[in-house]
Structure 1
């Protein structure tokens, strides 16, 4: 029999025997039951002198509604914790020294921010309600505690391994701290189901952390205007890729590059001008056998992107000789020539 069923049976029997709610609550406290569980159990019964105890409408397990709401609350908790960790990792990469993040790092922040913006009010409504109680929450408390414990143990193992391996950098430590803080707050969300005081510490702390990280993410990623600029830069980079492919095709046919043109063998002429500004893309030889293609990028993320060819530029090798570089193979290919074999006549 579940703890909630045992409590319900005790209260029913006690009220039917004529004992008052105050006396029953005192006995339950002495037996170790939490104040929250006692209040929730007594609230399920209506006591009228001379009448047996009457269960209140909607109390206990009167329907699937409470279980559905608690399930949605647990889903909101999982979604918030997962996306908080993802967003925290991206913010840690932005705030700490280390390998330069990919130019689309700000773009990758926007999905966690979107999930959190939707889930914060859902989580608040479902977990800050005064009547949030019952057997579903007790089982969900066990599940959330188990998952939070796994996260905490895994973080501890990762930190010790990084310390022993000499990889405990500021970035790694900050990411580990994000996991630990989120896991602890998730563990405290169901604290009252475990019989501890301070029922709203976990939910309020998780909501506060989510709001702070959402604001920080929007500040770093730049908001809608920066997102539109990054989309336009992605179009420009796609044009540069198409120009590079056409340049390689032309070089393979023996056509001098630049300029980039369309021929019978290479009929697909790419877009050679910026679709937004109308300015032509810059195409020039970086050195013999290599062409550099550049565009004026407008997003800060692309401007910060490290590239050997420079911001907003890419380089492509045109000739096989340039890709191979100097070597020891004879001009005719020697014994590795395609037509070499027993009795083959060497090329002049």
Structure 2
């Protein structure tokens, strides 16, 4: 095959040197059995300029720098597409919760997922936009760079991934439709996947067709598409921040979670103390003073001790001051939790376990 290609290249060069037109050469090669694609590939390697010998066009080459830039471009594209889809899924779960799976749609579960998605989009999208704009300027200055091998391979790989996602998305839609499980929540998720994958597939397919048919330069990603994507990302990120309460609320929730962890740890130590001494400890200082015990008995913010009150038999109270309310919004937390609380000081009734 390599020898046949070499013979074809030698023939085309010789024919051009003898003054034959490209059309006449293509016709002769077609009659000899060469395909139009093989012929065009060799003929396109020479420029249509008047000179005593055929003038070759510059050929695309692969450099480490170019490979790095395109790898970053497509890696951030995948990151943006996945993170945006994940964020929109979380928002849909939050706005249209499933009654059969309510806790999975709670703020307690969705909060970390939304934060990861917003963080990824905040970093990946600007990098994608910057690299895309930089490569666009390079292609505009040197159109031959559109024929970069790594760009072609990654573009076709992206088309394959996007097409696979679209096919899978439509398959799941039909499957659920036949099973009678179609709902607004499910339809919205299907639309999100189809829109993201379809936009990626449609743009890069059109980009390749423009390159192969027209052979002209062009921007890797259109400015309008970048602006529209940025608007969607900003809107989704703003909705996520409003839903999760923002950094200040998140910190307050983490501090209250830390207080609950401290109180939970204290209950374990109280149970262990009762097993050893057959009675409740007189105070928290006694618990913390036990050898090898690393027990937090004070508030992590103001350093005020947690309140402990020993009652009759093995009953006791643990109290702490909280800054968030989980008791009035049980749907957003585990319904079996024993640590739901109001804002302000809240006391929990507990009973020590001997065994």
TM range (shorter): 0.5 to 0.7
Unaligned runs of 5+ in 2: 23-35, 38-43, 140-144, 212-217
Q: Distance in 1 between matches of 2:205 and 2:16?
A: 29
Q: How does 1:309-324 map to 2 (within 5 A)?
A: 309-311=339-341, 318-319=352-353
Contact 1:246 1:269 in 2 (8 A): no
**In structure 2, do the counterparts of structure 1 residues 218 and 309 end up closer, same or farther at CA, with 3 Å as the change threshold?**
closer
1:153 offset after TM fit, Å?
A: 2.6
Partner of 1:337: none
Q: How does 1:202-217 map to 2 (within 5 A)?
A: 203-204=225-226, 205-217=228-240
Contact 1:124 1:207 in 2 (8 A): no
**In structure 2, do the counterparts of structure 1 residues 63 and 224 end up closer, same or farther at CA, with 3 Å as the change threshold?**
same
Contact 2:326 2:341 in 1 (8 A): no
Deviation per CA, 1:7-61: give whole Å up to 9, x if none: xx8xx969976989xxxxxxxxxxx99xxxxxxx89x9796866753655xx611
Deviation per CA, 1:125-153: give whole Å up to 9, x if none: 33344327223332222211221222223
Q: Higher helix share goes to which structure?
A: 2
Contact 2:121 2:233 in 1 (8 A): yes
**In structure 2, do the counterparts of structure 1 residues 247 and 50 end up closer, same or farther at CA, with 3 Å as the change threshold?**
same
Whether 2:146 is the aligned partner of 1:133: answer: yes
2:128 is paired with a residue whose SS is helix
Q: Distance in 2 between matches of 1:287 and 1:151?
A: 63
Deviation per CA, 1:69-114: give whole Å up to 9, x if none: 2222111111112212222222222222331415253233222212
Which of 104, 119, 124 is residue 124 of structure 2 equivalent to?
A: 119
1:251 offset after TM fit, Å?
A: 3.1
Contact 2:266 2:295 in 1 (8 A): yes
1:255 offset after TM fit, Å?
A: 1.8
Contact 1:103 1:301 in 2 (8 A): no
Whether 2:204 is the aligned partner of 1:181: answer: no
2:60 is paired with a residue whose SS is coil
**In structure 2, do the counterparts of structure 1 residues 211 and 19 end up closer, same or farther at CA, with 3 Å as the change threshold?**
farther
**In structure 2, do the counterparts of structure 1 residues 107 and 63 end up closer, same or farther at CA, with 3 Å as the change threshold?**
closer
Q: Distance in 2 between matches of 1:133 and 1:79?
A: 23
Provide the aligned C-alpha RMSD in A. 4.6
1:183 offset after TM fit, Å?
A: 1.4
1:296 is paired with a residue whose SS is strand
Q: Distance in 1 between matches of 2:263 and 2:323?
A: 15
Q: Distance in 2 between matches of 1:48 and 1:240?
A: 88
Partner of 2:142: none
Q: How does 1:216-235 map to 2 (within 5 A)?
A: 216-235=239-258
**In structure 2, do the counterparts of structure 1 residues 64 and 310 end up closer, same or farther at CA, with 3 Å as the change threshold?**
closer
Question: TM-score, length-normalised on structure 1?
Answer: 0.65
Deviation per CA, 1:200-229: give whole Å up to 9, x if none: 469525444333322322333333323432
Q: Distance in 1 between matches of 2:55 and 2:117?
A: 50
Bigger mean CA offset, 262-271 vs 176-185: 262-271
Question: TM-score, length-normalised on structure 2?
Answer: 0.64
Count matched residues. 298
Q: Distance in 2 between matches of 1:157 and 1:231?
A: 41
Q: Distance in 2 between matches of 1:112 and 1:84?
A: 7
Whether 2:184 is the aligned partner of 1:154: answer: no
1:182 offset after TM fit, Å?
A: 1.8
